[in-house]
Amino acid sequence: MINRDDPDEDILAGLRPPKPIAASPYFRERVMRAINEEGCRRKSWLIRWPGWVTAGCTVALLLLLIPMLHTGRKASAGNLWAQSIEALANAKSVHIIGRIRTLPGDNFELIGTKYDFVPVEIWRDYTNPPQWRVQKPGRVVAMDGKTATMYISKTNSVSSGPSGAGYIEWLRPMLDPQSILESENAAGAETQTSEANGTLTVNVRRKAGGDLTHDWAKNKSIAESDHVSVYHLDSTTKRLQGLEVYVSMDGKDQLVADFNDIRYNETFQPALFVLQIPADATKLLDASEMKPASVTLAGPKEAAQYFFDSLAHERWDDVLAVYPANTVDSRIREYYGGLQVISIGDPFQSGLYPGYYVPYEIRLANGEVRKHKLAVKNTNPKHTWIVDGGF
Amino acid sequence: MVAATAIEIERWPQTTEEFDRLIGLTQDELIQFATYRLGSQTDAEDVVQDVFVHAFKDRAKRRAVVEVRPYLFRMVRNRCTDVLRSRARANTWRMEARREKSGHEVQFPDFYRLLDQLPENEAEVIRLRAWSDLSFGEIAVAVDAPVPTVKSRFRYGIEKLRRLMCPQGGLNQ
């Protein structure tokens, strides 16, 4: 900024800030929350009218709705699914904007009623081959027609796989709004349908999936929680207009996800489906590409012990025998290197996760004590134990 | 300040991920400019947040904008002007009002107040030159004026500042 040869530098120097000003901590998060709220705000014509007009219209609407509610007008759910699928048959693209109570950067499955809302956006181009992109702050997955690529900015890591790779988990059905309704119907979920004000509303109530004898995973994903999905479809076109998901806990339904801005037939730039990955990104590997551990790991607890011992002694090659990546990112090295293991508990299974959760307590080199569950699984063809998350 | 990397923004962002990146790249320089313009970092952050939300809301409309960074400065500058006008209507001087309300006010050297004695279009070009890393070409986008005009305003403004600061001669005399 300073140009010593500039003849006006003497004046400019006196005007320059004595010290640079930086944004407050969490400013960025605050703005992204506001952007998300803006993106998710339902377009309501009511709020644009003066109060007296709104009141008048509300009364008129109620007068129209009362007979409808009284007669309990309902559409047949099965018929509705069929019409909705047909309505989307000619769609060229769909763009879904919403928000989920989750952690930025974490997997797309994770939810928590105490978490703040995080913006989520989905693009689906019904080209041949189809292309799509799903993203939230800190994590993005794009499928260019052949390969799905996931980039996690927090760990600067990238993973590639086939279109069906499990990168987007619960959000996958959102790529096909027509089939999401079909799958709900196929699952035989409890359904209530009503019609009012030009909108068909379908409430689908489902029980938590998986074995929750150990309740660690309960309510940590939508599929592992008792939940209600509320679908809004245009009465005329039968196109999906919105979706809200409520987790039922402690006797009430709490909103954890809503997608109320769904746009059809937008034109997307091809670049949207191709990620620009930093050259120094860590590559996450398939289990078959990993080097074997220097000792035989008998089970999840041994795998967890091996992982933490390797981090404790900063044996990065050994870390890579259980952590599926081509290198250990410098941030992981700095954060976990030299840790001390306080305890490692007995593994358990919970919910829909096919692996095990291993409780652990560690003291980091900076003195911080961390207590959590390491996710470990060996569901790959070679049954190699790999660390899947939880650190 | 992250101006060097901010130059990499080549088109108006269209996705929340792109906005997240844009905010990361430009928040400090925009807040710095607004803070010195308004005398309060709290107010500056409100203004910049408002600008980002509007930038997101109107993203489709601004798809063709390629000078993203200077355009954001233009939005911040306009929003700051609105805030200053509303303060003037409330008959408060910008610094005094903020001192009472928050502890985040910025101390201005008296020198800064000399800018208030310049024609506004000249003062604004000098502020943008001094408080940001924008080039004259980018300042032209930010103030919506041709580059030669921007350079003239800068030159006239600097000359006036010199006279205001040192009525008897140059700074080094």
**Which strand (E) or helix (H) includes residue A333?**
helix A330-336
Q: How far is A23 from chain B (nearest CA, A)?
A: 5
- Measured between beta carbons, the chain B residues lying within 8 angstroms of A18 are 109
Candidates A8, A151, A259: best to mutate against B (most CBs of B within 10 A) is: A8
Give the bridge partners for A206, in sequence order: A227
Return the percentage of chain A with pLDDT > 70, whole number. Answer: 82
- For B72, the token pair is 């954001």
Q: Which amino acid is at A284?
A: L
Distance of CA A154 to the CA centre of its chain: 15
Q: How far is A267 from chain B (nearest CA, A)?
A: 11
Interface predicted TM-score (ipTM) of this complex, two decimals: 0.82
The verdict on B131 touching A (C-beta cutoff 8 Å) is yes
- For A341, the token pair is 């293991």
Least confident of A51-65, A209-223, B48-62: A51-65
- Measured between beta carbons, the chain B residues lying within 8 angstroms of A26 are none
Question: Using CB atoms within 10 A of its CB, is residue A285 exposed (0-12), middle (13-18) or buried (19+)?
Answer: middle
B45:A32 CB<8 A: no
Candidates B7, B12, B14, B16: best to mutate against A (most CBs of A within 10 A) is: B16
Instruction: Look up the pTM and report it.
Output: 0.55
Distance of CA A309 to the CA centre of its chain: 31
Sole residue written with tokens 């290197």 = A337
CA angle A374, A377, A382 (to 5 degrees): 145
Closest Cα in chain B to A119: B16
The verdict on B2 touching A (C-beta cutoff 8 Å) is no
B53:A34 CB<8 A: yes
The string of pLDDT tens digits covering residues A270-305 is: 899 999 898 889 998 888 888 887 888 889 999 999
Per-residue pLDDT at A306: 94
B115:A16 CB<8 A: no
Nearest to B129 among A12, A97, A135 (CB): A12
Per-residue pLDDT at A139: 92
* Mean per-residue pLDDT, A327-338: 90
- Measured between beta carbons, the chain A residues lying within 8 angstroms of B56 are 35, 38-39
Residue partners of A290: CB distance under 8 A and separation at least 6: A320, A321, A324, A384, A386
- For A203, the token pair is 């409430």
CA angle A120, A142, A288 (to 5 degrees): 120
- For A325, the token pair is 């990546």
The verdict on B127 touching A (C-beta cutoff 8 Å) is yes
Per-residue pLDDT at A191: 78
B133:A1 CB<8 A: yes
B171:A21 CB<8 A: no
The verdict on B117 touching A (C-beta cutoff 8 Å) is no
User: Is the Cβ–Cβ distance between A104 and A137 less than 8 Å?
Assistant: yes
Residue partners of A172: CB distance under 8 A and separation at least 6: none
B130:A136 CB<8 A: no
Candidates B8, B20, B79, B164: best to mutate against A (most CBs of A within 10 A) is: B20
Q: How far is A8 from chain B (nearest CA, A)?
A: 7
B31:A21 CB<8 A: yes
A14:B16 CB<8 A: no
Candidates B49, B76, B125, B127: best to mutate against A (most CBs of A within 10 A) is: B49
The string of pLDDT tens digits covering residues A111-135 is: 998 898 899 999 998 877 889 999 9
A119:B28 CB<8 A: no
Candidates B12, B21, B23, B171: best to mutate against A (most CBs of A within 10 A) is: B23
Per-residue pLDDT at A129: 81
- Measured between beta carbons, the chain A residues lying within 8 angstroms of B103 are none
CA–CA gap between residue A198 and residue A289 (Å, rounded): 54
Q: Which long-range contacts (CB under 8 A, 24 or more apart) does B170-173 make?
A: B171/A10, B171/A11, B172/A10
The string of pLDDT tens digits covering residues B45-69 is: 889 999 999 999 888 888 888 889 9
Helix axis angle, B136-143 to B68-89, nearest 10°? 50
Closest Cα in chain A to B19: A32
- For B36, the token pair is 């010195």
- Measured between beta carbons, the chain A residues lying within 8 angstroms of B111 are 14-15
CA–CA gap between residue B68 and residue B10 (Å, rounded): 7
- For A47, the token pair is 């709020």
Per-residue pLDDT 10s for chain B (173 aa) are 434 344 467 788 888 888 888 998 899 999 999 988 888 888 888 899 999 999 998 888 888 888 899 999 999 999 998 888 877 766 543 344 333 334 444 556 666 778 888 888 999 999 899 888 899 999 998 998 899 999 999 999 988 888 877 654 433 33
Helix axis angle, B120-131 to B136-143, nearest 10°? 130
What mean pLDDT value characterizes chain A? 81
The string of pLDDT tens digits covering residues A60-84 is: 433 333 333 333 334 455 566 666 6
Per-residue pLDDT at B8: 60
The verdict on B172 touching A (C-beta cutoff 8 Å) is yes
A32:B16 CB<8 A: yes
In total, the C-beta contacts within 8 angstroms joining chain A to chain B are: 99
Nearest to A27 among B16, B27, B131 (CB): B27
Q: Considering only CA atoms, which of B24, B10, B31 is closest in space to residue B76?
A: B31
User: Is the Cβ–Cβ distance between A338 and A365 less than 8 Å?
Assistant: yes
